[in-house]
Amino acid sequence: MSSLENDLEQLKKAIVEGDPDLAEQLAKKILESKMDPLKAIYESVVPGILKAGELWEQNIYFIPDVIMSAEAFKSAMSILEKSIPISTIENKSIGKYLICTVEGDIHDLGKSIVVTMLKAAGFIVYDLGVDVPIKKFIEKVKEIKPDIVGLGAYMSTTAVTLKDYIQALKNEGLRDKVKVMIGGVRTSQEYANNIGADAWGKDGVDTIKKAKKLMGVEK
Amino acid sequence: MSFVPPSKIDMIKGFLYAKGLRFIKLNPNSRAVAATIGKPDYVPVIGAQIHEHALTVAKADPERFFYKDGKYCVAVQLYVSKWYGFEQPMGMAPEAYNYEVEALGGKLLKTKKHMPSIDQSDPLIKNPEDIDKVKTPIKIDQGRIRFVIDSINAYKELTGNPPSAFFCAPFSFICGIHSYVRVIRNIRKNPEFIHKLLTWSIDEVLVPYLQLLKKETGANYAVGADAWAAIPNVNKEILEKFVFPYNEKLKIEAKKKGITAVVAGTADYCIEDPKNFDPELMKWCWYHEGKALFGRPGIFMGMGKTELWPIDVIKEFIKENTSMFWKPPVIASCSASFIRDSSPYEITNYVKRIIDNLGRDGHLSFFLAQIPADAPPINVHSFVNASKIYGKYPIIENLDEIEFKLPEFKSYEEWYREEASKGRAIEYE
């Protein structure tokens, strides 16, 4: 194994094991070696975070492990992404995903893990943040024209407003142009069905599986 | 275990009834005691965590409920709980994770219509040196401490029960003041700081805070909330090193000040997907959560998908932990999505299944750990109704012989008007 191959392997390991400092150092080293940053992203960074997701799914990793892997992922990406032209990222993406939590809901933790996983899966993610009113949401849907919107609600008093966002998309003639996913601790597949969403994302891993399915890139 | 501190007389009555003295008349508090140690007259639904649901059912003013009027906040929860027929209506200031952090200067993200949350992206203690900048102890005029005190006093006044304080358990408190992600990061990078932060939180913040609440309300019993220390928010290693020892320390330090503190939610098993259920880890969690609540092993079904928990594993746990002097009690529940999305028939069947499998010899009660805002009231009434019908001791051999009926109940508005006209409810408007 060459030194560079070893660095790529170590970078993947740093992400799986959740070591943000080491991931940053290795990402810098890889850039200094003039390696194509896309190679590092696709061979180390993305497989690293997806492996952490697999371990979560297998019940081997708990949330703290996933968070640390996500931190390591972000550390490496923040270094590597700077060297990639935006057009390259757009060409390689599988779709545009707009995400936010609904008005009155200021919970960010679950959404930030979902955002990390979506980026790793190849989506261009537009994160509107938390506590986003319907008006702003609709404006951004019109402006960005996402393939999928993801709406998060983490309290039962805010989950009841998810249907209003879907209704607003209908009122604006946008519902047929965009897929809608919902997520958050107070939601479920049944709830998604009841309010007319296209899919429910149970967690980060489940969200990317279903988002890819909605995009037709995974069965 | 009870969220209402049982008086000595209720303890004795509950104990004697459970041991066979059936002529004793149980009240809700002694019934909860009897259900923990044996058979009461029926399987009680002790209470529910109900704030978001109560707010919706009573069409209450959210701003007043969350921010302005502690008595109003408690009364709304108590009345909705009474309407459902819970044994020990819970009425508390609902933000168990916010008040202490807010009082110390932590940033809350507030909206008028919904419960606020601590801003996890901008915590009060970002770095180890910040700990010295936080002024302790918490004083009565900081944040919404008066609101909390008003709520505890209102509970005492409106129920006649002894006052009970609520607080944020040490691990969950540091997840508020330092942020959960930073806590997790520093558990790996700087564990000494996390130990220091936990010790500081107990000695400088939480125990003095409980003393303040005791002084202002007389509450010498306090229940701590610890949802951040649930599985999978934490793992076994974190629980063993950073949670259990500090809950124990808190209990000891509080006891020295004449306060009995229990912690709820630590090691709560919240893995959602049945295919990922790990029976050994479940048992380990039940053992520890039970010890925190009852002082001995017992099952408290908290915030997880408890309706999916394997009954056989629960039975195994009970068998493995039963001794001559103790049989683990079960406080059963169901998830927020189950109580919201199921039909009354499905809910009734669930209650029936739990009673049939776990309640025949007593040691069973129910506590609805979470009722979401939009749960249909008929579902909650069905739950309570089923518990009374199927859970009446002695429990009949074949519960299927009891015909399923939808519960009959007055609308909340009608019920409330009647209560108010009889002087049993405060008219606020």
Give which of A205, A96, A117, A204 is closest to A152, Cα–Cα: A204
- Supply the pLDDT for residue B93: 84
Q: Is the pLDDT of residue B424 over 80?
A: no
- Per CB-CB distance under 8 Å, the chain A contacts of B340 are 156, 191
- Supply the pLDDT for residue B427: 64
**Is A158–B341 a contact, with Cβ atoms under 8 angstroms apart?**
no
The 10 Å Cβ neighbour count of residue B394 is 7
pLDDT digits (tens, 9 = 90+) for B297-328: 999 999 999 999 999 999 999 999 999 889 99
In chain A, which residue's Cα lies nearest the Cα of B303?
A185
- The band of B88, judged by pLDDT with boundaries at 50, 70 and 90, is confident
- Supply the pLDDT for residue B428: 60
CB A126 within 8 A of CB A115: no
Q: How far is A112 from chain B (nearest CA, A)?
A: 11
Give which of B36, B45, B50, B31 is closest to B340, Cα–Cα: B50
3-state helix/strand/coil string of A120-140: HHCEEEEECCCCECHHHHHHH
Distant-in-sequence, close-in-space partners of A1: CB < 8 Å, separation ≥ 6: A9
Residue A168 identity: A
**Is A71–B121 a contact, with Cβ atoms under 8 angstroms apart?**
no
- Supply the pLDDT for residue A140: 97
DSSP-derived letter for residue B130 is: G
Side-chain-side CA neighbours of B237 within 13 Å: the count stands at 8
Q: Is the pLDDT of residue B135 over 80?
A: yes
- Per CB-CB distance under 8 Å, the chain B contacts of A104 are 111, 113-114
| Beta strands B364-368; B330-332: pairing state | parallel
- Per CB-CB distance under 8 Å, the chain A contacts of B278 are 59
Give which of B240, B222, B116, B218 is closest to B169, Cα–Cα: B222
- Supply the pLDDT for residue B261: 95
Higher pLDDT, B5 or A105: A105
- Per CB-CB distance under 8 Å, the chain A contacts of B172 are none
Chain-centroid distance of CA B29 in Å reads 16
Query: Would an 8 Å CB–CB cutoff place B182 in contact with chain A?
Result: no
Query: Would an 8 Å CB–CB cutoff place B119 in contact with chain A?
Result: yes
Give which of B129, B80, B83, B132 is closest to B104, Cα–Cα: B132
Distance (Å, rounded) from C-alpha A13 to C-alpha A51? 10
- Supply the pLDDT for residue A8: 94
What structural domains and CATH numbers belong to chain B?
A: 1-33 (no CATH), 92-266 (3.20.20.210)
**Is B372–A159 a contact, with Cβ atoms under 8 angstroms apart?**
yes
CB A178 within 8 A of CB A147: yes
Query: Would an 8 Å CB–CB cutoff place B337 in contact with chain A?
Result: yes
Percent of chain A as helix, strand, coil, to the nearest 5 = 60, 10, 25
Q: Is the pLDDT of residue B68 over 80?
A: yes
Which range (A29-38, B109-118, B143-152) has the least confidence?
Answer: B109-118
CA torsion angle for B389, B393, B397, B403 (degrees, to 10)? -10
Cα–Cα distances (Å) from B82 to A42, B28, B29, B50, B148, in that order, read 58, 12, 15, 12, 21
Overall residue count recorded for chain A in this entry: 219
- Count of A–B CB contacts within 8 Å? 89
The 10 Å Cβ neighbour count of residue B22 is 11
- The band of B422, judged by pLDDT with boundaries at 50, 70 and 90, is confident
- Per CB-CB distance under 8 Å, the chain B contacts of A130 are 109
Q: How far is A129 from chain B (nearest CA, A)?
A: 12
- Supply the pLDDT for residue B78: 92
- Supply the pLDDT for residue A219: 59
The 10 Å Cβ neighbour count of residue B319 is 10
Where are the strands (E) in A65-174, listed by range? 95-101, 123-127, 148-152
Instruction: List chain A pLDDT tens, one digit each, 219 residues.
Output: 678 889 999 999 999 999 999 999 999 999 999 888 888 998 999 999 999 989 988 888 988 999 899 999 999 998 998 887 767 776 778 999 999 999 988 887 889 889 988 988 899 999 999 889 999 999 999 999 999 999 999 888 889 899 999 999 999 999 999 999 999 988 888 889 999 999 999 988 899 999 999 999 875
**Is B374–A190 a contact, with Cβ atoms under 8 angstroms apart?**
no
Distant-in-sequence, close-in-space partners of B391: CB < 8 Å, separation ≥ 6: B42, B43, B44, B351, B355, B359, B364
- The band of B1, judged by pLDDT with boundaries at 50, 70 and 90, is very low
3-state helix/strand/coil string of B148-215: HHHHHHHHHHHHCCCCCEEEECHHHHHHHHCCHHHHHHHHHHCHHHHHHHHHHHHHHHHHHHHHHHHH
Q: What is the ipTM of this complex?
A: 0.77
